A and B are shown apart, each in its own frame.
Chain A
Amino acid sequence: MGETPHRSADAGTGGTRVTQSHAWPAGASARVAEAPVSAPTPDGNGLGGGGALPTNRKFGAERAFHGLTMAAGAMVLVIIVAIAAFLIAKAIPALRANTANFWTFEGWFPNDNPPTFGIGALAFGTVLSAALALLMAVPVAMGIALYLSHYAPRRLGNSLGFLIDLLAAVPSVVFGLWGRDYLIGPVTDLSGWLNKYFSWIPIFGGDGPYGNSILLGSLVLAIMVLPIVTSLTREVFLQTPTANEEAAIALGATRWEMLRTAVLPYGRPGIIAAVMLGLGRALGETIALALTLGSTYAISFNVLESGGNTIAANIANRFAEANDTGRGALIASGLVLFAITLVVNIIARAIIYRRREFTESAA
């Protein structure tokens, strides 16, 4: 290592001689000997550097850009903090006025006197419906994505992929209305059937009425998040380096084995990210659930009976009628939703972080 500087010393491309402030570009010295006539102007500062090194500019584009990005970053932080402060300030009086236990009380009467409301059932319904939705959507989405990226002929894969990207942009109210008006029939029938034969499984127990249930809500959610999860995971699968796929194939892997050894592990962080995005959408989904769930306030694992509620749907349903305390209560519930989303994201990060040694070198 200690020898490297010597080599460049007589290479004629600067090196140690740059400091000797000679007028011509150091890199030009060889050319000068061959053709002195066409030598560059003695005071020209060639691109290779020459003469004294210029001092670092105080006000360049570099610095301006640095300042700009810093300001933008700081502004975002300030805005977030301001919003949080405002929301917390609104929520606290309502929480103070609440005469029931905010965490465990199963009901929502913030407009009454004295006001009583609890987040438990809503938070439970939120997590349950989102989890069920993902349970149904993710395997299907990954199947479609794998088909489109690795089985379908390229043309078909691309056009179907485009179609799915379009689906991801359909507003959720469309899904909600469709669920409320059309999907409800088949779901009611399915619920009856499940209840008849599988009522020994607690989640399929109860005795009706069926229809506006967690099952319907999470089915609609599942259909809603399916395109986005499919679209993202397809993108992830397409990014697997050909070299890795070929390595697996050359070892004698079948197509499915190749997917399992090269594509799926490589896409793991991306898959988790896609699922998290889907989960974020499901947790925060408002209108589709406000239209399909039965809006009751009870913690129940039963997915067939009409009922269920989520934080976001509850906000949509109750905001119009809310008085001051009512609005504070809804804001408080919104903060809880925010906390749930945060926790979910932290868990996802932790999962990705745990194998970072492998995923980083993969990138």
Chain B
Amino acid sequence: MAKRVSASNVTAYYGAFKAIENINLTVEPKTVTALIGPSGCGKSTFLRSINRMHEVLPGARVEGSLTIDDQDIYHRDVDVTAVRRTIGMVFQRPNPFPTMSIFENVVAGLKLNGVRKKSILDEAAEKALRSANLWDEVKDRLGKPGAGLSGGQQQRLCIARTIAVEPQVVLMDEPCSALDPISTLAIEDLMFQLKDKFTIIIVTHNMQQAARVSDRTAFFSIEKTGDPGRLIEYDNTQKIFSNPSVKKTEDYITGRFG
């Protein structure tokens, strides 16, 4: 179910602007990897290039190679939609489909895959909602609009929607930044459970969160505004937070910079 993600020499552009340059890193299956770094250093850009969401923007493009289990996701013959199904994504702001009910939101991805049978959808929806720790809160109102939930519930709904299609890798871009501490804890717990099945890559500005949930941490940074973001250090989370080998990393995590 979970796959290894590796990036080699990944460079991404917005038009003529180079946002990240020569990123090399490998994420092992069934681990949580945190991407940290100052604002604008290209964490989201890198994350979005992993599931080929980056190229959705006009003029945006990616160079270098990205593979999951040695399969090049940018290969000419690869079906982009299949890549995105294999590599799910949770966004910073909860974005349930406003016109859909809770149930419809969860099964939206399955329906896109052509699953129509009610019994299968029911089962998948319950499973995904249970995995997202949301089932008990919504089981009596599955037909109500997804946008009527609280922010934290909406974010878990989006997680349920993402994992309902059983991806192999789950990308999360600051999934807790709009949430209260309790919802944040709920989602962190969730990540612990999910890494049994998925490879998880999460962007966060919260050092404690990175330290709590991740096995490995990648620190990105930029020299100055306008420069492309680079990967400064990538190591076990414990090492990064206790004894980083690069001075810049230490400055950042101790709050002296960024």
Contact = CB atoms under 8 A, between A and B. Distances in A.
Interface of A: 154, 241, 243-244, 246-254, 257, 261-262, 265-266, 268, 355, 357-359, 361-362
A236 B89 CA distance: 27
A145 to B, nearest CB: 18
B76 to A, nearest CB: 18
A361 B145 contact: yes
A250 B88 contact: yes
A24 to B, nearest CB: 37
Contact of A362 (B51, B81, B99): B99
Contact of A361 (B51, B56, B113, B148): B148
A253 B98 contact: no
B255 interface: no
A262 B96 CA distance: 10
A246 B53 contact: yes
Contacts of A241: 95
A262 B147 contact: no
Given A154-B58, A261-B108, A249 B84 contact: yes
Interface residues of B, number: 33
B91 A243 contact: yes
Contact of A252 (B56, B84, B97, B158): B84
Interface in B31-45: none
Contact of B82 (A246, A252, A266): A252
**10 nearest CB pairs, A to B:** A252-B85, A362-B98, A361-B147, A265-B99, A243-B95, A251-B109, A250-B89, A252-B84, A252-B81, A247-B95
Interface of B: 51, 53, 56, 58, 81-85, 88-89, 91, 93, 95-101, 108-109, 111-113, 144-145, 147-148, 158, 161-162, 165
A154 B58 CA distance: 9
26 contacts: A243-B91, A244-B98, A246-B53, A247-B158, A247-B161, A248-B108, A250-B89, A251-B84, A251-B109, A251-B112, A251-B161, A252-B109, A254-B81, A257-B112, A261-B111, A261-B112, A265-B99, A266-B97, A357-B148, A358-B100, A358-B101, A358-B147, A361-B98, A361-B148, A362-B98, A362-B147
A247 B91 contact: yes
Contacts of B89: 250
A244 B53 contact: no
B157 to A, nearest CB: 11
Nearest to A361: B147
A250 B53 contact: yes
A359 B112 contact: no
- The interface residues of chain B, by DSSP majority, are classed as mixed
Contact of B113 (A246, A252, A261, A265): A252
A159 to B, nearest CB: 16
Nearest to A265: B99
B56 to A, nearest CB: 6
- The interface residues of chain A, by DSSP majority, are classed as helix
Given A251-B161, A252-B82, A253-B81, A246 B97 contact: no
A248 B111 CA distance: 11
A268 B148 CA distance: 19
Contacts of A359: 99
Contacts of A247: 91, 95-97, 158, 161
A251 B97 CA distance: 12
Contacts of A265: 97, 99-100
A230 B35 CA distance: 44
Contact of A268 (B51, B99, B108): B99
B49 to A, nearest CB: 13
A5 to B, nearest CB: 21
A277 B89 CA distance: 39
Given A268-B99, A357-B144, 12 more contacts: A244-B97, A246-B53, A246-B56, A251-B88, A252-B81, A252-B83, A254-B81, A261-B111, A266-B97, A358-B147, A361-B98, A361-B145
Could you say which of A246, A251, A261, A362 has the most chain B C-beta atoms within 10 Å of its C-beta?
A251
Contacts of B101: 358
Contact of B108 (A251, A254, A357): A251
A253 B99 contact: no
Contacts of A361: 98, 145, 147-148
A254 B51 CA distance: 14
A359 B99 CA distance: 6
Contacts of B109: 251-252
Contacts of A253: 81, 112
Could you say which of A154, A249, A252, A262 has the most chain B C-beta atoms within 10 Å of its C-beta?
A252
A265 B56 CA distance: 21
A250 B145 CA distance: 21
Contacts of B148: 357, 361
Contacts of B147: 358, 361-362
Nearest to A269: B99
Contacts of A246: 53, 56, 91, 95
Could you say which of A257, A266, A357, A361 has the most chain B C-beta atoms within 10 Å of its C-beta?
A361
B162 to A, nearest CB: 8
